[in-house]
Amino acid sequence: MTPAEYSALAHPRLSHPARSLYTLQLRRLVLENRLPRLNYPELGRALAVVDPGNPSGFCYQVNARQLTELLDELMEAELLQVEAQADSEHYHQCPFQLPLLSQRVRSPLPERPFQMHLRWRPDEELPALARLCGVIDASYSEEDLGEFIAYWLGRPEVFDSQHQWMLKFIRALKTRRYVRRQPMEAKGYQQVTSAPAEAGPSKRAQQMIEEAKRPAHGQKREQAPQQEPDND
């Protein structure tokens, strides 16, 4: 049973006969590749319960109207889709589908925590989870994944669920990308983040300032009166 089916069947508004009809009959018909048509007599026999005090009788049975109501319950729960006829009050011999039989969603049951291992991989929910964490691009390299796994393999005391491991992996990606964006400079045998440049005029602006100063100084020298030699 898929997690989506379990979640829908566990809904408190769904009756027990409707659950039994789905799990014991409709689902079995589809899995056995039998013709997916609603056969009312067959479905009625599948739901009938023999009376322990009277072997020839039944303590629980459904008629056609009650069977239609059970099928309506399953359709309201989105467990069943029926190609019903417009002028019919029942679904006898109508084709049907079970849309949640192949649908994959996160199970309502809590995930079991586990240690990091060499074959760990993020699942298909990584892009959506990354966007919730502010990471638009959820792509990663083998180096990113290998470094993450190697780090947590050295901490065998940590047990987390798949969801928690993916959150850790997303945080690791954000950290690595932030570090890569910082300019690095070599100091001895180490690489350190370069200090931010001080605010001030650009190199081109400084050149323009110097070029503007040169004519001014030349004009001052030409305009300066020449001192005549003192003959006294």
CB 46 within 8 A of CB 19: no
- Domain presence at residue 71: yes
Q: Show the domain range for 42.
A: 3-97
What is the chain's pLDDT, residue by residue, as a tens digit (232 residues)? 787 888 889 888 899 999 999 998 898 888 887 778 898 898 888 888 887 877 777 777 888 899 999 999 999 988 998 887 767 788 888 888 898 887 654 555 567 889 999 999 998 888 888 888 888 888 899 999 999 999 999 999 999 988 899 999 999 998 888 776 655 554 444 444 444 444 444 565 566 657 666 655 555 455 555 555 555 4
Q: Are residues 178 and 140 in the same domain?
A: yes
Q: What is the pLDDT of residue 121?
A: 93
- Domain presence at residue 79: yes
Backbone angles phi, psi at 58, to 5 degrees: -130, 140
- Domain tally for the chain? 2
Task: Report the predicted TM-score, pTM, of the whole model to 2 decimal places.
Answer: 0.44
Q: What is the pLDDT of residue 120?
A: 94
Q: What is the pLDDT of residue 122?
A: 92
Q: What is the pLDDT of residue 103?
A: 62
Q: Are residues 10 and 92 in the same domain?
A: yes
Backbone angles phi, psi at 181, to 5 degrees: -75, -20
The Cα–Cα gap between 42 and 48 comes to 10
Q: Are residues 15 and 75 in the same domain?
A: yes
Q: What is the pLDDT of residue 221?
A: 53
Q: Are residues 134 and 75 in the same domain?
A: no
- Domain presence at residue 105: no
Q: Are residues 9 and 93 in the same domain?
A: yes
